[in-house]
Structure 1
Amino acid sequence: MLDDILRKQDGVITMDQAQKCGLSRHAVDRLVRSGHWQRRWRGVFFVADREFSDAARVRVAVLSNGATAVATGLTAAWWLGLTKFAPDVVEVTVPRVSNHIRRAGIHIRRRDLQPADIVEHNGLRVTSLPLTVVEAAVRPGGGPQLLDQALQRHTDLPKLWAAHLRNKGRWGSPRARMLLKAAEEGTRSAAERLFAKLLRQAGITGWKANQKLLGWEVDFLFEGDRLVVEVDGWAHHVDPETFRLDRIKQNALVRARYRVFRYTWIDLTQYEDRVIAEIRAR
Structure 2
Amino acid sequence: MGDDFTVQDVWTTKQLTAAGHSYRDIARAVDQQVLVKIAKGHYISKKDPHSVLHAFNLAYPGLTFTGRTAAYLYGVAPMVWPATAHHPTSRSAVIHLDLRRRAVRPTVTRRGLQVAVAAIVAAELATTDESAAVRVLDRGYQGFKGSRRLEDDFALLTRGERRRLDPVLRKAIIGTASQLETTAVQLIRSALRRELEEGLITIETNGMVRGYCFDILIREVRLLIEIDSWAYHGEARSKRMDFARDRCKGNQATRWGYLLLRYPDSAVKHAPRYLADEVADTVRFELQRRRRLRREDEAIPTDQPMWLWYPKV
- Give the TM-score normalised by the residue count of structure 2: 0.47
C-alpha contact 2:117 2:140 (8 A) present in aligned 1? no
Show the counterpart of 2:44.
46
- For CA contacts below 8 A with separation 6 or more, give which structure has more relative contact order: 1
Please give the secondary structure, in 1, of the residue aligned with 2:117: helix
Shift in Å at residue 158 of structure 1?
2.1
Match of 1:78 among 56, 72, 75: 72
Show the counterpart of 2:16.
18
Aligned counterparts of 2:144 and 2:51: Cα–Cα separation in 1: 25
Aligned counterparts of 2:27 and 2:133: Cα–Cα separation in 1: 45
Larger Rg: 2
Q: Deviations over 1:180-213 (max 9, x none)?
A: 69989x995777656655643436xxxxxxxxxx
- Give the TM-score normalised by the residue count of structure 1: 0.51
Structure 1 residue identity aligned to 2:90: S
Residues 135-150 of structure 1: pairs in structure 2 closer than 5 A: 135-138=120-123, 139=125, 140-141=128-129, 142-150=132-140
Show the counterpart of 1:253.
none
The answer to whether 1:106 aligns with 2:97 is yes
Aligned counterparts of 1:15 and 1:171: Cα–Cα separation in 2: 42
Taking every aligned residue pair, what percent have the same amino acid on both sides? 17
Aligned counterparts of 1:3 and 1:239: Cα–Cα separation in 2: 58
Aligned counterparts of 1:42 and 1:238: Cα–Cα separation in 2: 52
Shift in Å at residue 134 of structure 1?
0.5
CA RMSD of aligned residues (A): 4.7
C-alpha contact 1:70 1:118 (8 A) present in aligned 2? no
Please give the secondary structure, in 2, of the residue aligned with 1:39: strand
C-alpha spacing 1:32/1:179, structure 2 compared with 1 (3 Å): closer
The answer to whether 1:91 aligns with 2:84 is yes
Flag structure 2 segments of 5+ consecutive residues without an equivalent: 199-214, 218-225, 232-263, 273-313
Show the counterpart of 1:56.
51
C-alpha spacing 1:16/1:107, structure 2 compared with 1 (3 Å): same
Shift in Å at residue 248 of structure 1?
8.8
C-alpha contact 1:161 1:180 (8 A) present in aligned 2? no
Aligned counterparts of 1:152 and 1:199: Cα–Cα separation in 2: 33
C-alpha spacing 1:25/1:175, structure 2 compared with 1 (3 Å): same
Task: Report how many aligned residue pairs link the two structures.
Answer: 203
Please give the secondary structure, in 1, of the residue aligned with 2:44: strand
Flag structure 1 segments of 5+ consecutive residues without an equivalent: 204-231, 251-282
Show the counterpart of 2:151.
161
Q: Deviations over 1:37-64 (max 9, x none)?
A: 22233322222xx5x2232343345445
Show the counterpart of 2:118.
133
Please give the secondary structure, in 2, of the residue aligned with 1:45: strand
